[in-house]
Amino acid sequence: MSTGSPRVLPADSGIAEAAAVLRDGGLVAFPTETVYGLGANALDARAAARIFEAKARPSFDPLITHLADAADLEKLVGPVPPAVAALAERFWPGPLTLIVDRPAEIPPIVTSGLDTMAVRVPDEPSARALIRAAGVPVAAPSANRFGQLSPTRAEHVVKGLGAAVEVVLDGGPTRCGIESTIVDARGAQPVVLRLGALALEELVEAVGPVSVRPGSSGQPVAPGTLAAHYAPRTPLRVVAGAQPAPADGGRRGFLAFRERPADGYAAVEVLSPAGDVTEAAARLFDALHRLDAAGVTEILAEAAPDTGVGRAINDRLRRAAATWH
């Protein structure tokens, strides 16, 4: 972990300064509607290399390029397949990442050598203003160290990355709380490469049947959708419902979807007392960050209903649990 701390600036008034850092090849963490991103100039191979260094991210895990406006897509990559254009039109700005051909201006390090590039327009005014002010596409993975919990607050970024990032724009907690849905719509039927904040139901309503390959089967289809990912430091186990704490004296934490479990846990987080998957997703990583800091020996996490964004929550919990198998 790096020592020292980054400059933390308000997400609105700090934009000009942050944009200058990006243009100079530096790293800026910024809020999006999903999670905080760790941004660099996507046209600058050396700047992109610094992202991999700061995150201790393997070079085979490609980055997502962020644009300020949907209209910038064709300017950067030229014409895209009709299904890709239709999805961009329908869901951008928003938590949907699309796969397109990598344009020559984007150095291969950004896409880990792939001929394709992941791209999205975030639905967060300050993020779009930052990208616009920088005047370049911004490559940004989630602003956490590789394999660790995604950051949904500026404090998570500061704690996880320290001075490895120059500037952190603080826009408060992120709205969705879970990463974007990644879709490859270049073929006959769209393929979901990562479940995320855009619900499957909404996608299907817009484009008809899709296939889902979240990569949790052990054969990652998107290079970065490794089974063990998004993990707290504390061992985590997914359970089917609220249950009493095992009476073996262990200090355990419980991550409840809706109902507070019976006594016996050293720490408890309830994601959505109303039973709403969207609210639960928004709180997921924040709750896991707190449980992780609570000094428990194990986290029991109750699965969410497998509907809407609940699927993405369960995907993240399974990946967190996979680390400890």
Considering CB distances under 5 to 8 angstroms, the limit depending on partner class, which of Mg ion, ligand TXA, none binds residue 133? none
Can residue 68 be called a binding residue for ligand TXA (CB under 6 A)?
Answer: no
Per-residue mark of binding to ligand TXA, 278-307 (x: CB under 6 A): ------------------------------
User: Residues 112 to 151: which contact Mg ion by CB under 5 A?
Assistant: 142
Nearer to ligand TXA, 103 or 223 (CB): 223
Nearer to Mg ion, 184 or 302 (CB): 184
Stretch that binds ligand TXA, among 219-227, 234-242, 255-263, 309-317 (CB under 6 A): 219-227
In whole angstroms, how close is the CB of 267 to ligand TXA at the nearest point?
26
Least distance from Mg ion to the Cβ atom of residue 281, Å: 15
- β-strand partners of 39: 28
Q: Which residues contact 63 (CB under 8 A, 6 or more apart)?
A: 42, 48, 51, 110, 111, 112, 118, 139, 140, 141
Phi and psi at residue 24, to the nearest 5°: -85, 5
Binding ligand TXA (rule: CB under 6 A), the pick from 40, 96, 99, 203 is 99
| Three-state secondary-structure class, residue 174 | coil
Closer residue to ligand TXA in complex, CB, 101/279 = 101
Per DSSP bridges, beta strands 64-66 and 116-120 are parallel
Which of Mg ion, ligand TXA, none interacts with 80 (beta carbon under 5 to 8 A by kind)?
none
CA distances from 44 to 48, 98, 288 (A): 6, 21, 34
Q: At what angle do helices 200-207 and 82-91 cross, to 10 degrees?
A: 130
Q: Classify residue 271 by burial, with Cβ atoms within 10 Å: 0-12, 13-18, 19+.
A: buried
List 6, 14, 37, 190, residue binding ligand TXA (CB under 6 A)? 37
Rounded Cα–Cα distance for residues 180 and 16 (Å): 26
User: Is the Cβ–Cβ distance between 215 and 222 less than 8 Å?
Assistant: yes
Query: Which residues are at the interface with Mg ion (CB under 5 A)?
Result: 142
Query: Which residues are at the interface with ligand TXA (CB under 6 A)?
Result: 32, 34-35, 37, 61-64, 95, 97, 99, 111, 114, 116-118, 122, 140-142, 179-180, 182, 193-194, 222-225
